Amino acid sequence: MKKNTPKNVPSLNVLIHLYYDGYLLDLEKLLGLLYNNTAETDMGCRIWLGSTNSYGYGTVFAFDNNRMVHRIIWELEVGDIPEGWHIHHICKNKLCVNIEHLQPLSPRDHMLIENTPPAVNSRKEYCKYGHKLDEEITAIYGGARQCRVCHIRRAREFRYKNLEQQREYQRVWAANKRAENKAGVI
């Protein structure tokens, strides 16, 4: 990795504050200052060499709080990020600020392209018992996609397994109601 050496420019904090406080500022100077804190890799990534947050993303203090550098660079070079959207690192390197390796995504799309459990489950075509997960047989229970056939089977098994417990509860409930009626409490 080759580090770009900073030129005679004001501090990064000053320039970021000037830009975000609405003052007229040379965009090239601001981008140059940001890119001076990067190094290029063989894979084409521009790695941020400045501070990072606890999640491993490059940060800079701007507008009275820490901001992620890849989001600032996207806003400066491309434009606004839709509210609530994420900037995804296509290269999977959280320190990369190369605009060609960044992509805006909705939170749902961002979650679905990763290998998180919800993403893996959303790509499944069959339940674990072999039923095809199409619109006809799939239902949403408790916010999760489930096979209707398996859901009905599990509900029947639960009822059968807990039948004696349910009957005992009903007997106690009925006995309490009879006692209340005898006592005149209605």
Q: What residue has token string 């005679």?
A: 8
Percent of the chain predicted with pLDDT > 70: 83
C-alpha distance from residue 64 to each of 27, 32, 33, 135, 168 (Å): 20, 22, 19, 49, 63
- When mean pLDDT is compared over 35-49, 68-82, 108-122, the highest value belongs to 35-49
Query: What's the pLDDT at 2?
Result: 45
Instruction: Tell me the average pLDDT of the chain.
Output: 82
For the chain, the domains span: 1-114, 124-181
**Residues whose CB is less than 8 angstroms from the CB of residue 165 and which lie 6 or more positions away in sequence, other chains included:** none
Domain 1-114 has CATH 3.90.75: yes
Q: Cα–Cα distance between 105 and 92 in angstroms, integer?
A: 14
Residue 132's Cβ-side half-sphere holds a number of Cα atoms within 13 Å equal to 3
C-alpha distance from residue 121 to each of 40, 125, 141, 145, 150 (Å): 37, 9, 14, 8, 16
The pTM assigned to this predicted structure is 0.60
Query: What's the pLDDT at 40?
Result: 93
**Residues whose CB is less than 8 angstroms from the CB of residue 48 and which lie 6 or more positions away in sequence, other chains included:** 37, 38, 58, 69, 70, 95, 96, 97
Indicate the residue type of 130: G
- Taking residues 161-180, report their average pLDDT: 89
